[in-house]
Amino acid sequence: IEVLCQNFCRYQRQTDDGQYQIVPTEKQKAFLARILCAEECFHFSEVGSGKTKVILPLLCQAFLSSNEAVHEQLARGGQCKHVLVVLVPEHLLHDARSQVFRYCLNLNFRDEYRVYDDIFALLHQDVQLGGQPAGSKFSLGGGGK
């Protein structure tokens, strides 16, 4: 988490006195650790906690990294994940998308990226998630396709 946050700061603009504009707080670092290490993979936090400007880019950078420990945590005992789905309130969509492009896609960790700004786009028959055949649909109840 610390190395990830240090790398995140390197891409920040600096103020007139040479300080980074955005530096992850201890609370944000703890929330990121909870997201990466917890058994569940669905998380909420209070409004105004820096999820769009800090947590989202850090989470994406962790997901796109080659850090085996991070990927082991994200697998949560299962297979390695190849898809990261982040649900963002509509009023934050533009800012969240800008953060993803600014911090993640410009770093070129992987060859192919897809950013969908509409959850229903994931239902399109041409969208493949994690090697599943195009058009596959999944239910939340663990039932099948």
Tens of pLDDT, residues 18-77 = 888 888 899 889 888 888 888 877 666 667 667 778 888 888 888 888 888 888 888 888
Structure tokens at 40: 């569940």
Position 145 confidence tier, pLDDT thresholds 50, 70, 90: very low
Report the distance separating Cα 95 and Cα 25, nearest Å.
Answer: 20
**Terminal C-alpha separation, the chain:** 36
Q: What is the pLDDT of residue 144?
A: 40
Alpha helices in the chain (DSSP H): 2-10, 26-37, 56-64, 68-75, 93-103
pLDDT at residue number 139? 40
pTM summary value:
0.69
Q: Tell me, what amino acid is at 79?
A: Q
Whether residue 28 contacts residue 50, with contact meaning beta carbons closer than 8 Å, is answered with yes
Please determine, for residue 105, whether its predicted confidence score (pLDDT) is greater than 50.
Answer: yes
Query: Whose CA is closest to 23, among 48, 46, 1, 54?
Result: 54
CB 49 within 8 A of CB 30: no
How is residue 63 written in tokens?
């997901």
Confidence of residue 136 (pLDDT cuts 50, 70, 90): very low
pLDDT band at 109 (very low <50, low <70, confident <90, very high): low
